[in-house]
Structure 1
Amino acid sequence: SYNDRQQLTTTVYPDGLRSTREYDERGRLTAETSRTGETTRYRYDNPDSELPTGIVDATGSSRTIRRNRYGQMVAFTDCSGYETRYEYNRFGQMTAVHREEGLSVYRTYNTRGLLVSQKEGQGRETRYDYNEAGDLTTITGPDGSRTETQYDGRGKAIATTRGGLTRRMAYDAAGRVTQLTNENGSHSGFTWDVLDRLTEQTGFDGRTQRYGYDLAGQMVRSEDGDLVTLWHYDESGRLTHRTVNGEPAERWQYDERGWLTEVSHLSEGLRVAVQYGYDNKGRLTGERQTVSDPQTGEVLWAHETQQEYSAQGLANRLKPDGLPPVEWLTCGSGYLAGMKLGDRPLVEYTRDRLHREVQRRFGSDSLPESYELTTTYTPGGQLQQQHLTLPQLDREYGYDEGGRLVRISGPQQTREYRYSEAGRLTGVHTTAANLDITLPYATDPAGNRLPDPEFYPESSSMVWADNRITEDMQYRYRYDRYGRLTEKTDRIPEGVIRMHDERTHRYDYDNQHRLVRYVRTQYGETQAEGRYIYDPTGRRVGKRVWKREPVHWSETRTELSARPYETWYGWEGDRLATIRTQQRRVQTVYAPGSFTPLLRVETENTELAKTRHRSLAEKLEQEGSGDGEAVQFPAALRAMLDRLEDELRRDAVSEASRAWLTQCGLTAEQMKNQLEPRPEPERKVHLYHCDHRGLPLALISPANTVAWRAEYDEWGNLLGEENPEHLEQLIRLPGQQYDDESGLYYNRHRYYSPGLGRYITQDPIGLEGGWNLYTYPLNPVTEIDPQGLAPSTFGTIFGPAMAGTFSGVDSVAHLPESERQSTLNDFSKMRGMYNPLSDYVFGWAVGAPVGSLVAIFGPAASAGKVLAGSVVSCLSNVTYQAIENEKINYKDVIWAGLTGGLAPGRTIIENGLIAMGTTYLNKGDTPGAVTGSGIGAVASGLLGKVPFLSNIFGDYATGLVSEGIGDNVEKANSEGSKK
């Protein structure tokens, strides 16, 4: 609805939730209340200005803005009183930003208004050159490295070169990309129909995929070799089920409000389902994974996580399955200050004036010395030193002129890193007592690993044209038509007599290209076998492993175990939270918004058995009614009683619960007397001490002793381990889990081979993760890939003076829409330039249409109605960014494709994204954002985390233009988790 001035006042969403806006007598926005109930208020000091000078968010934190006479922001003071200052030239272009802790960035422009230089306060400068048409042609880094881009007569990028490596693109007369040529000279092709929909895609290895659409533009058929997938929708256009070669696959269920409530399928003959719960504001409150026998209905494994929100809407309390609640303590508007496990404070944080972590403390105050990690940063904002009360774990970091990490030093060893001009890791030099060794890493132009040139001089001229490595110094490899590794066999060097003792590793997959069976044979006998179970979103929830064991303790003869060793896995979104074996349960608590493990909690199964007790709901059901007969409560009543029990045990009964009890003629005290004692099992709690990437280096006990310690190479291979307490620590690089039977690392969406430093199957999101569908980041020193999809850098540690430091996000995210656009336009002029070679960006710069299906959805994905509009939207987005903003952000293009294709309504978003698997739902809002209705706020398995927007062209998109839609989305998710 609208007021008399035709200003929007109320929006009611299909699920019944609403958002509101309030205005003063001058028509200026004074308050915004989101659909989840959080209110942001605006203050205006100048009665004649429509630009706010004060913002108070839902947490009660206030921010102030100072402006020049033209209304441009010249100072922004955050909720902690810390100030950011902005400078402009006479044309209104932002020329400098000054942050706390002495961090500054400067920009200069040419007479045409184009950015030509960006310089940090420490003197590192990046320069930009253009052709006569204003196209960016050259980027020169602080170290002299150059990235060059060539354009055709229509201004389309046709070639980009960096470090001597060139990628090329070709287009048809309609401007649609028809061919990509990678650094090896291999080609990938694309075919389109008259409506600009992708109908056929051929990869660099010749793998061909085809797509078909119905009259409504929904993708209803996809072909991948002999795999034919049919997609089915309901009358609202929501995806309901999918079949592969006529066999049922995933099935999606929704409630009357359109919110996704369950996804299910069969995996290894078992029914695996994921259920989602919401509060009355549409926020995700719980996720439950179950594995059951479809014949008997027996539940073999169940795992549930719940989360609660503060009065300000912050998801600050997590309830892991089988653990006391994890409570995140925050300061200001959500900066992490500490965490508690149940009533036990475990971790405390201290932050500087940029809100960066400068100290972390773990342990008990009663101990004379507890774990304390002190972190310092360089004047440019990069990680400089980590000092601990355990000095053997200290680390110092060194950088070159280009800002690349070139040295990590510790008390026991120093590692120095070398890079190619293209930014790839080419060598590691390690020095320590009695050790001085250099390990080279060579790749072909497309990034495929090559044998050590010291032993194989001819490898310097080798290329893997199809990106499939068929042999290295240890093994020979075979692949199937889908590019999946199917066999790995010991390589027998020439001249060596074959003894028939070589090992053979075989890999089998399901129709979603997920590894479901691994077998290792030697001497003609099976040595180990593993079978793997997945939920409908692609997360591994179980495995069964058979190992060769002695027949009897007195014999040397062995045979495969009759019964498998079972392991079950429980998830918190995309993060593996629980591992349950036949002996124990190991649970991991992660740092908010990241894949870096924070706490490890181990509980023996014998201890878990001691904790069994009746819940309040179970007790009331079993004791029954007045005549003593047992009763069965409805699910809704059981949920209310479970919530009440939790509040009673915390002595924090809410007003809503008290009102409900009053209506029932009961009191909280009466109900508390009904609670049965809940014994606490004995648990081992350890703090993870990780490197700058999130790779665990040590486990620290509350008494500040090292319970476990390990050393790894840059690709995550374990080099050495000290384990005095015999702990099983299986986490490797962020998002990875070590499998002992195969030696592979499970990496959420696929499996990583640490020996090869790459994946064994192709990227499920296709070109969006990079042109080479197998590679792990080629600079693993400063990049990670926690979901097995696409590389990401550690923004809080690396990157130009830290991610977000000069972005203006803090100041812009809280502005009303009426001003946000103009302010963001100023920011966009100083955000930096388009780097055409980046694996992130380059897949989008080739010409928009690829992004709509190829790069976004990857193999066998469902585009639904997305493609119809996304082609044009992607194209216009790339053109606008490259020519107007001098920058292309691949995530913006993704969102342009989504917004273009999703104009008809929210349900199309579900169609396009659920097909790749939904993980996080209704994660929460950012200030001023309108979170979409239906299946929630964030879907995983496509691009990581992607909000569902009910008004995709409205409030949210408007507020995210300059900073980059994708960047804001990630920041919003990260900050929301921290809050």
Structure 2
Amino acid sequence: YDNPFHFVSAIINERGERYQIDYTPTGHVQREVTFDGRQFVYEYDAHTQLTAKTEIGSEGTELTTRYAYDAQGKLIGKTLPDESTIQYSYDLLGNLTGVDDGRWPLAYAYDVLGRLTTEHQGWATTGYRYDALGHITAQLLPDGQQLDYDFQHGRLHQVNLNGHCLTQHQYQVSGLETRRTQGALSSHFQYDETGRLTEHRVSQAQQQTLFRRYQYNRSGNLTQVEDNLRGLTQYHYDPLDRLTQVRGSLSENFAHDPAGNLIQSRQSNVEGNRLLFQGDRHYQYDEFGNLIQEARGTNQSLVTRYQYDGQHRLTHVEKPDGTLAEYQYDAFGRRTHKTVTDKTGHQTTTEFLWQGDKLLAESGERHYQTYLYEYGSFKPLALVTGEGADNATPYFYHLDQIGTPLEITDVEGRVAWSVDYHSYGNVAYQRKADIVSPLRFQGQYYDEETGLHYNRHRYYSPDSGRFITPDPIGLAGGLNNYQYVVNPTGWVDPLGLSQCLGSCAGAIRRAFLNNKWGYLTSSERSALLQQKVELNAERWVREYEVNLGQRYPGLNPHFVDKHGPDIPLSPNLASRAIDGSHPRTGAPGRFPQPSSQFKDWQTQRNIINEAITREARGLPKYNGFDSQGNPVVTGTYHETVGRGFTKNRQNLSQPHFNPNYTKWTIRFDAGTGQPFTGYPTP
């Protein structure tokens, strides 16, 4: 923490490797040096908006992405390392309406409430309708099919496909689903007191067809599964909750190094958390940590080669038999096309369509499939084969405790697809395959041509239980940039970014899990990361005020006490503009005073930082004085920094409220030169 802001400046991992973070004089990240020697350098404009990000490989190659903004601070352009550009457009309300990367355009339309009504991807269009509570009630799919959602008491009750019932759902008071009707089958679910799935029964005409019972230890780890098709399977863990042993029809043993890397009996030499070899497989990486070669077999003569673009997205894979796979992506990094050329020269192309971060449909040579999910999650609900309503055939997923498909049944209740998995996601045994389903762990799509799982932002190797490229969100995804999850019996990573517990969708556990561990959608993830940043900012502001008060007993600092964003607007903040009372304690005042607060802790921290670092940036320490002769620093932001009340002379009990203060003042004590308060101003 060797910086003026008390931010983390260095982390030492289990191997003694160092992650270094340097900051600008205003407290923004300026440079990062990763555990494996890569560097990230950031540039900002006068409004502290990121204008350039340069990644420097371990051999010195630089990849720079540049950003451009409009007057309101919205991103309008991005120039990528290969000099290609992405353009962004918005409507008058600030909603994103278009993204153009020159290859696969995206466009969006909204209703008067700002809800997405139409989404265009390339040639395809998806439409949405909503109820008064914001639930999606109808979805027009790209191939002309229609989904209708019926909500009762705020919960999804029924899903219709093309006017016919697809699924029905019942819930307990807590919100956990207890029964689901899927064609001719009914699923029944039971849970323990913490919301973990303990039993899943599937029946047809009161005749049980599938049955699974789950048991957990006191740490919450899965210890046993009874399955009427697969028998009894037991799981064992080390003190760090990492899977070490599986006993059942498929027995496995695992060991881990201190960083969480899997070390199987023939696997070793993990340096910088990059796997160098596993059994007879030898791996090579580029200077950015991306896997570029796998050699195996006699004298490592069977070579698979991997290529990436400037954003580290996998673009080409060349197999030892001459098979070539090529991949393309949209502006958000979602895979839109894959083309596979086999060793005979025959070429097949598959096109992918998306709903947010979830795969919605795929179209290929003589096939079209639509994927439907449990509402608000990545857990698959149904698979629809065929293009258009006249050709649609629905199938239904049956999942394990973390949302991985085990069986798929048709409308008559017959099993059309069934598999057994190894612990880290490889299919060990295909029981039935009347249809093709590439969905694996939540958010993963199996590529037959490579054996890899496409995992939205990265590719996952079930052979090694690792990703083949570093985590694009860096430390936010954990200290080990290649690790999938802490253990695969209870955790998932739907976006290829950061792990969360597999039952994240449970109503009882959702708030706890999202606050502590992770997310299931991109919006939930963004909210969680924002929450963590906000909590860090709050801690900084509170500690700064306490430390000032301890060092200067007569200073009486009150950044938080009178202007913190957690003060209720009414009656607390408003009362100060009515009678001068203290906004937290309610202590009476002598006369009404202007009363304001910052909109959030990050803004308050950033403004304090900006004021107290002026000298370090070569500026005069102050830029003015207040009416009492105290030196001050004042400034204006390009966006709202806070809100406040002022005295209403016509009606003292109804002070004027302004929600959009854009200016601010930090006041300093003339004797000590230390700040003692700061607040937004109109």
Aligned partner of 1:190 among 11, 21, 27: 21
Q: Which runs of 5+ in 1 are unaligned?
A: 1-169, 291-301, 364-369, 432-436, 493-497, 550-559, 609-679, 808-830, 841-850, 858-865, 885-894, 905-932, 934-949, 954-979
1:449 to 262, 270, 281: 262
Please state how far the C-alpha of 1:235 moved relative to its aligned partner: 2.4
Deviations 1:668-693 (A, max 9, x none): xxxxxxxxxxxx42322111111121
Task: State the distance in 2 between where 1:546 and 1:447 align.
Answer: 37
Give the AA of the match of 1:374: H
User: Considering only aligned residues, what root-mean-square deviation do their CA atoms show, in Å?
Assistant: 3.4
Aligned equivalents of 1:217 and 1:512: distance in 2?
24
Q: Is the Cα–Cα contact under 8 Å of residues 220 and 231 in structure 1 kept in the other structure?
A: yes
Matched residue, 1:352: 172
Q: Tell me the equivalent position of 2:113.
A: 281
Deviations 1:12-70 (A, max 9, x none): xxxxxxxxxxxxxxxxxxxxxxxxxxxxxxxxxxxxxxxxxxxxxxxxxxxxxxxxxxx
Q: Distance in 2 between matches of 1:792 and 1:482?
A: 26
SS in 2 for 1:789: coil
Deviation of 1:404 after TM superposition, in Å, equals 2.2
Decide which of 474, 484, 508 is 1:776's aligned counterpart. Answer: 484
Residue of structure 2 in register with 1:597 after alignment: 380
**Are the equivalent residues in 1 in contact too, given 2:175–2:508 (CA < 8 A)?**
no
Matched-pair contact (CA < 8 Å) for 2:190–2:200: yes
Residue 952 of structure 1 and its aligned partner are, at CA, apart by: 11
Name the CA distance, whole Å, in 2 between partners of 1:243 and 1:545.
29
Partner of 1:478: 284
Q: Which letter maps to 1:583?
A: R
How far apart, in 1, do the equivalents of 2:66 and 2:194 lie?
A: 53
Q: Which residue of 2 aligns with 1:385?
A: 199
2:329 corresponds to which letter in structure 1? Y
User: In structure 1, what is the Cα distance between the partners aligned to 2:395 and 2:659?
Assistant: 45
Pair 1:544 & 2:544 matched: no
Q: Deviations over 1:550-592 (max 9, x none)?
A: xxxxxxxxxx33xx21110011111101010011110011111
1:718 Cα deviation from its structure 2 partner: 0.5
Higher relative strand content: 2
Report the CA distance between 1:234 and its aligned residue: 2.1
Give CA-to-partner distance per residue, 1:414-469, whole Å, 9 cap, x none. 111111211111221114xxxxx6311122111112132xxx5xx6xx66341111
1:891 maps to which residue? none
Q: TM-score, normalising length from structure 1?
A: 0.52
Question: Tell me, what secondary structure is at the counterpart of 1:681?
Answer: helix
Contact conserved, 1:796 with 1:802, CA < 8 A, in 2?
no
Map 1:7-406; keep pairs closer than 5 Å: 170-172=1-3, 174-225=5-56, 226-245=62-81, 247-266=83-102, 271-290=103-122, 302-332=123-153, 334-363=154-183, 370-389=184-203, 391=208, 393-406=210-223
User: How many angstroms does 1:314 deviate by?
Assistant: 2.5
| Map of 1:579 onto structure 2 | 362
Aligned with 2:295 (options 477, 489, 497):
489
Contact conserved, 1:172 with 1:178, CA < 8 A, in 2?
yes
Question: Deviation at 1:379?
Answer: 4.5
Please name the residue that 1:875 is paired with: 540
State the distance in 1 between where 2:501 and 2:442 align. 12
Residue of structure 2 in register with 1:828 after alignment: none
Provide the rounded CA distance (Å) in 2 between the counterparts of 1:190 and 1:717: 37
Q: 1:194 to 1:710 in 2, by over 3 A?
A: same
Distance 1:439 1:479, change over 3 A: same
Deviations 1:309-340 (A, max 9, x none): 124432222221114321122211x1121211
Structure 2 contact 194–509 (Cα < 8 Å) conserved: no
Q: Please name the residue that 1:702 is paired with.
A: 411
Judge conservation of contact 1:304–1:570 (CA < 8 Å) in 2: no
SS of 1:450 mapped into structure 2: coil
Q: Which amino acid aligns with 1:537?
A: F
Highest relative contact order (Cα 8 Å, sep 6+), 1 or 2? Answer: 1
- In structure 2, relative to structure 1, the CA distance for the partners of 1:877 and 1:802 (3 Å cut) is farther
Match of 1:803 among 487, 492, 509: 509
Offset, 1:477: 0.7
Is the partner of 2:450 in helix, strand or coil?
A: coil
Change (3 A) 1:796 1:568: closer
Matches within 5 A, 1:905-920: none
1:902 deviates by 9.4
Query: Is this contact kept in 1: 2:225–2:232, CA < 8 A?
Result: yes
Q: Please state if 1:736 is matched with 2:477.
A: no
Within the candidate set 777, 791, 795, 2:499 is matched to: 791
- Name the CA distance, whole Å, in 2 between partners of 1:207 and 1:951: 43
Aligned partner of 1:533 in structure 2 is 328
Q: What amino acid does structure 2 have at the position aligned with 1:510?
A: D
Contact 1:264 1:535 in 2 (8 A): no
Look up the match of 1:440.
253
1:917-961 deviation digits (Å, cap 9, x = unpaired): xxxxxxxxxxxxxxxx9xxxxxxxxxxxxxxxx9899xxxxxxxx
The residue aligned with 1:520 is: 319
**1:758–1:951 Cα change, 3 Å:** farther
The one-letter code of the counterpart of 1:756 is S
Judged with a 3 Å threshold, the aligned counterparts in structure 2 of structure 1 residues 421 and 463 are, in CA distance, closer, same or farther, namely farther
- Aligned ranges 1:578-977 → 2 under 5 Å: 578-603=361-386, 680-723=389-432, 725=434, 727-795=435-503, 802-803=508-509, 872=537, 875-876=540-541
Provide the C-alpha distance between the structure 1 equivalents of 2:197 and 2:5, rounded to a whole number of angstroms. 48
Extract unaligned runs of 5+ from structure 2: 57-61, 520-524, 546-559, 561-598, 609-638, 640-657, 662-682
User: Hey, what does 2:304 align to over in structure 1?
Assistant: 505
Structure 2 contact 500–518 (Cα < 8 Å) conserved:
no
Deviation of the 1:871 alpha carbon: 7.9
Q: Is residue 745–residue 753 contact of structure 1 (8 Å, CA) maintained in 2?
A: yes
Residues of 1 paired with 2:378 and 2:369: CA distance? 16
Question: Does structure 2 conserve the Cα–Cα contact (< 8 Å) formed by 1:769 and 1:789?
Answer: yes
**What's the offset of the Cα at 1:236?**
2.5
How far apart are residue 792 of structure 1 and its match?
1.1
1:428 matches 2:246: yes
Q: 1:184, 1:444 within 8 Å by CA — same for their partners in 2? A: no
Cα 1:371/1:243, change in 2 over 3 Å: same
| Shift in CA distance, 796/244, structure 1 to aligned 2, threshold 3 Å | closer
8 Å CA contact 1:576–1:588 kept in 2: the answer is yes
Q: Distance in 1 between matches of 2:7 and 2:175?
A: 45
* CA–CA distance in structure 2, aligned partners of residues 952 and 710 of structure 1: 57
**SS in structure 2 at match of 1:449:** coil
Percent identity over the alignment is: 29
Amino acid at match of 1:507: Y
Q: In structure 2, how many angstroms separate the alpha carbons of the residues matched to 1:896 and 1:794?
A: 32
Contact 2:129 2:139 in 1 (8 A): yes
Matched letter for residue 7 of structure 2: R
1:445–1:463 CA contact under 8 A, matched in 2: no
Counterpart of 2:272, as a letter, is D
Shift of 1:217: 2.0
C-alpha deviations, 1:892-928, integer Å up to 9, x for none? Answer: xxx9786668999xxxxxxxxxxxxxxxxxxxxxxxx
User: Partners of 1:510 and 1:877 in 2: how far apart?
Assistant: 44
Structure 2 vs 1, CA of residues 246 and 377 (structure 1 numbering), >3 Å: closer, same or farther? Answer: closer
The AA in structure 2 aligned to 1:207 is R
Q: Structure 1 counterpart of 2:181, which letter?
A: R
Q: Which residue of 2 aligns with 1:410?
A: 227
